[in-house]
Amino acid sequence: MALIVQKYGGTSVGSVERIQAVAQRIQQTANQGNQVVAVVSAMGKTTDTLVSLAQEITTTPCRREMDMLLSTGEQVSIALLSLALQELGQAAISLTGAQVGIVTEQAHSRARILEINPERIERHLKEEKVVVVAGFQGISSTTELEITTLGRGGSDTSAVALAVALGGSQCEIYTDVPGILTTDPRLVPEAQLMREITADEMLELASLGAKVLHPRAVELARNYGMPLVVRSSWTDDPGTRVLSDITAGGRSLQNLEISEGIDAIEFDRDQARVALLRVPDRPGIAAQLFRAIGQQQVDVDLIIQSIHEGNTNDIAFTVGRAMLPAAEAVAEATAPVFRSGQQTQPNEAEVITERDIAKISIVGAGMIGRPGIAAQMFQTLADAGVNLEMISTSEVKVSCVIAAADGAIAIISGNYPNLMSFGISILSCQIRRRDCTDTLRNNFNQSC
Amino acid sequence: MALIVQKYGGTSVGSVERIQAVAQRIQQTANQGNQVVAVVSAMGKTTDTLVSLAQEITTTPCRREMDMLLSTGEQVSIALLSLALQELGQAAISLTGAQVGIVTEQAHSRARILEINPERIERHLKEEKVVVVAGFQGISSTTELEITTLGRGGSDTSAVALAVALGGSQCEIYTDVPGILTTDPRLVPEAQLMREITADEMLELASLGAKVLHPRAVELARNYGMPLVVRSSWTDDPGTRVLSDITAGGRSLQNLEISEGIDAIEFDRDQARVALLRVPDRPGIAAQLFRAIGQQQVDVDLIIQSIHEGNTNDIAFTVGRAMLPAAEAVAEATAPVFRSGQQTQPNEAEVITERDIAKISIVGAGMIGRPGIAAQMFQTLADAGVNLEMISTSEVKVSCVIAAADGAIAIISGNYPNLMSFGISILSCQIRRRDCTDTLRNNFNQSC
């Protein structure tokens, strides 16, 4: 008898008919001899409606009251789904985040899950009930019962966290698309369904995959080796399996999400930078440059384009140091094209290079929506006297280009107040969190 | 500095504009130097909408899940009102029934309040916050956090119970009418506003007053000597004051509502019954009969009309025993009128009388919506071998007519397992609960 956690998003429970269809699917899973915990979002546009009501009152709503308001959406869903299951003859009980004991940080509207008390759900499962749990919500204290919401990706994260806390066999994310696609099918009709993808690959595709499965939930699944399935609520197609290293189990179930703010620190001193200053601000410029660089088999790492004064941009990119001469040559060869294409420009495009740079990055889905993590990285480097030459951020990664000599300064100083500066001391290597000692991990997380 | 509990019903918070108006009224009260606890209902038709959703799913919804569903309505209101107060610059915090610690019975959809933990509200009041509390809801256990709703009159009751638990100076019920009127102004435009009424009078007018103030809340206010004010949300008119004996304070704050199921037991053996059998089933018959009886200055007590087979009814009524001859004479005089008016009727109207009857009644607003209390009364009498000749119930009273001899049997038996049969032993007197010893009161309530 397997324990399966199924998560149904807002579209899947968007009407009474859909709730009834979801109830049938859950009953089917239960009839196959499984224990089922169903995690649901608010119905369809409920959350938007509630947000609109609040916005009619204030443009600066208190986050605590917004959590109080928005958490009702999921509560309506769980009650209705539970009624629909009971109407099918399937014993069921709904539980709020507070009733389950989903304990989170105090950070309203973007709380991370700290731990989940499995006892009450296990009791109801033993009673052969389907347990319907409100996604997206928790409480910051079991005495004060302050209602928190988890922010973006909240219900996905609730589902994975419950699967982990209950020792479930898999977590199924039901959605309105057939699974994870190679690209957005609304933009590219030929988008292919992926049958399988590893959690690590999924995280790399964060911005693509986030539309159906939030990276935060993927990271939690990966860290605890919880198999994920993403599939359609409307068909029996198998969807996409998101595979994790099942040996990742056995971690502490406390601070479920907290330890995952930063998953890796990368330091790379084998970097050089090429910058084209004052290139024309018109479509096709970047394509022209990087097509030429690609033709020379030069791998480009970071690319940063910033707006310069006037009608020009600066484009900077980094490459492996050995490739600098080739990259510089291409840039120098391309620059006159820009000049000739921009007759009215008083200042002409110019190429500058810098070979003594290094790149330090922090990586982790847990930093999504947490600007404080990037800020702390910058502060740590500033405290070490390290000047930042370039900054590039994506949803799950913050990279800083620094002078290679500054890396050395950080190393020589021997002052490692936290894991971040420790990261600087490890030249040209990556440390994956799971290779770190607990002490180091804790150091970093405390400082976050 | 007074502590005032204000309750705003669904109409008063029916839209964002109304919520904003309510916020201004609350702020005004706070600015006058008062501590304010605001209790609110669900917005306008929210509850109806939620009930409709559930009804689309099932015609026999589980009460627990309905409470889960319906309690979201008040939660939306408290969040929005709290935001509206904050937008006015008035510090405020919303609390659900669970967060306050409003502990009720387990009886879903009709739970009575057992006790309220005042500590959290007091803490927030000390922080100079207005505390906005969800009416109509509680929890049946502080560990399981099972959400209960209070049933009819729930939010009124929440407000009074909070005022009592917090030692408030008064409880103000805001509604969409100017106060308690002498009758329903939608039916009788000349209905008069009452400036003052005692809680006892209010309870006698239960069916009238219930439209603006539920008897259950009135009874709680009376039992704890809490002054009530019923007034319009839209004007500054003073409304109606519902006065209670302030010496009623000092009662235990445990089992707030529980002890109030039955407030009094009345036994009256000075009764006689007149019955007209087979009177025509057409409008005006009862009016004709009781107009004639009234003209003879005969006070009628109970009137029961039941449908007989065919097109006739039986009408029975009780009078003081001394009045039986007069009542019988009027009935006999009226009966031929019915006969002549009903030429096609094969069986003619007939008058029968019974002079050896007694009436036993239980009275109390707490029995509203609790058919079990009436059933227990019937069972108690059955156990004593007492046959019931007539039964009449209103919202706050259950009366049984029994043979006077049976009253004697009950007395002679000396078997008083609970207060109900004890009531039978007290001939021709009323015992008001507050005159009872605690032991007797507890006996009865345990057996309920």
What pLDDT digit, counting tens, does each position of A347-392 carry?
Answer: 677 899 988 888 877 776 666 666 667 777 777 777 777 777 788 8
Q: Inform me whether the C-beta atom of residue A77 falls under 8 Å from chain B C-beta atoms.
A: no
Contacts of A80 in chain B (CB under 8 A): 53-54, 57, 69
Element (H, E) at A3: strand A3-8
Q: How would DSSP label each residue in B303-342?
A: EEEEEPSTTEEEEEEEEEGGGHHHHHHHHHHHHHHHHHT-
Q: What is the mean pLDDT of residues A308-323?
A: 81
Instruction: Look over chain A and give the mean of its residue pLDDT values, rounded to a whole number.
Output: 81
Best mutation target, A43, A48, A81, A83, to test chain B (most B CBs within 10 A): A83
Residue B53 contacts A, CB cutoff 8 Å = yes
Kindly report which listed range (A29-33, A140-144, A381-385, B242-246) carries the lowest average pLDDT score: A381-385
Q: How far apart are CA B346 and CA A442, in angstroms?
A: 96
* Lowest-confidence region among A217-221, A251-255, B314-318: A251-255
Confidence at residue A285, expressed as pLDDT on a 0 to 100 scale: 77
User: What value does the mean pLDDT take over residues A195-220?
Assistant: 78
**Among A66, A78, A83, beta carbon nearest to B57:** A83
Confidence label for A167 from pLDDT (cuts 50, 70 and 90): very high
**Chain B residues near residue A66 by CB distance under 8 angstroms:** 79
Residue A266 has pLDDT above 80, yes or no: no
Distance from the Cα of A441 to chain B's closest Cα (Å) equals 34
Nearby residues of B183 by Cβ (< 8 Å), 6 or more positions away:
B191, B208
CB contact under 8 Å between A96 and B68, yes or no, is yes
pLDDT value for A447: 30
Query: pLDDT tens digits for A172-191?
Result: 999 988 888 877 666 667 77
Are A264 and A446 in contact, with CB atoms under 8 Å apart? no
Q: What is the pLDDT of residue B416?
A: 33
Q: Which residue has the higher pLDDT, B367 or A278?
A: A278
B370/A109: higher pLDDT = A109
User: pLDDT of chain B along its 448 residues, tens only?
Assistant: 899 999 999 999 999 999 999 999 999 999 999 999 999 999 999 999 999 999 999 999 999 999 999 999 999 999 999 999 999 999 999 999 999 999 999 999 989 999 999 999 999 999 999 999 999 999 999 899 999 999 878 999 999 999 999 999 999 999 988 888 877 666 667 778 889 988 877 876 655 555 678 888 998 998 899 999 999 998 999 999 999 876 665 677 877 886 545 666 667 778 899 988 888 777 777 888 888 888 888 888 888 877 666 777 788 888 888 889 999 998 888 887 776 554 555 567 789 898 888 887 777 666 666 666 777 777 777 777 777 778 887 766 778 888 877 765 544 333 333 434 334 333 223 333 333 333 333 333 333 2
CA distance A19 to chain B (A): 9
B188: left (phi over 0), alpha (psi -120 to 50) or beta: beta
Distance between A118 CA and the closest CA of chain B, angstroms: 13
Contact list, A54 vs chain B (CB under 8 Å): 79-80, 83
Distance (Å) from the C-alpha of residue B89 to the closest C-alpha of chain A? 11
Interface of B with A in 116-175 (CB under 8 A): 120, 144-147
Instruction: Using a CB–CB cutoff of 8 Å, tell me whether A63 touches chain B.
Output: no
- Region at B85 (left for phi over 0; alpha for psi -120 to 50; beta for the rest): alpha
Give buried/exposed letters for B125-144 (b at 16+ CB in 10 A, else e): beeebbbbbbbbbbbbeeee
The answer to whether the Cβ–Cβ distance between A50 and B76 falls below 8 Å is yes
pLDDT at B284: 76
Write the CB contacts of A193 (distance below 8 Å, at least 6 apart in sequence): A178, A179, A180, A181, A239, A240
B91 touches chain A (CB under 8 A): no
Is the Cβ–Cβ distance between B350 and B276 less than 8 Å? yes
pLDDT of residue B355: 85
Per-residue pLDDT averaged across A18-30, rounded?
Answer: 97
- B156 in Cβ contact with B150 (< 8 Å): no
Cβ distance A83 to B96 less than 8 Å, yes or no, reads no
CA distance B242 to B230: 8
The residue of chain B with its CA nearest to that of A96 is B68
Between residues 328 and 367 of chain A, which touch chain B (CB distance below 8 Å)?
none
- Predicted pLDDT at B429: 30
Counting one residue from chain A and one from chain B, the pairs whose CB atoms sit within 8 A come to 108
Q: Is the dihedral of CA A255, A257, A258, A262 positive or negative?
A: positive
Which tokens hold the place of B289? 């009969």
Closest B-chain CA to A66: B79
Q: Which residues of A touch B79 (CB under 8 A)?
A: 54, 65-66, 68-69, 72
Cβ <8 Å between A58 and B16:
no
SS3 of chain A: helix, strand, coil, percent, to 5: 40, 25, 35
CB B35 within 8 A of CB B123: no
Q: For residue B62, which residues of chain A lie inside 8 Å, CB to CB?
A: 82-83, 86
Q: So what's the pLDDT on residue A296?
A: 82
Q: Given this model, what pLDDT does residue B426 score?
A: 33
pLDDT given for residue A347 in this prediction: 60
DSSP letters spanning A209-242: HTTTS-HHHHHHHHHTT--EEEEESSS----EEE
Nearest CA in chain B to A17: B57
Nearest to A67 by CA among B61, B93, B159, B245: B93
Is residue B350 exposed (0-12), middle (13-18) or buried (19+ Cβ within 10 Å)? middle
Searching chain B, which residue's CA lies closest to the CA of residue A57? B84
| Angstrom distances, CA of residue B413 to CA of B50, B266, B383 | 53, 19, 11
Sequence-ordered strand ranges (E) for A160-299: 170-175, 196-198, 228-232, 240-243, 264-280
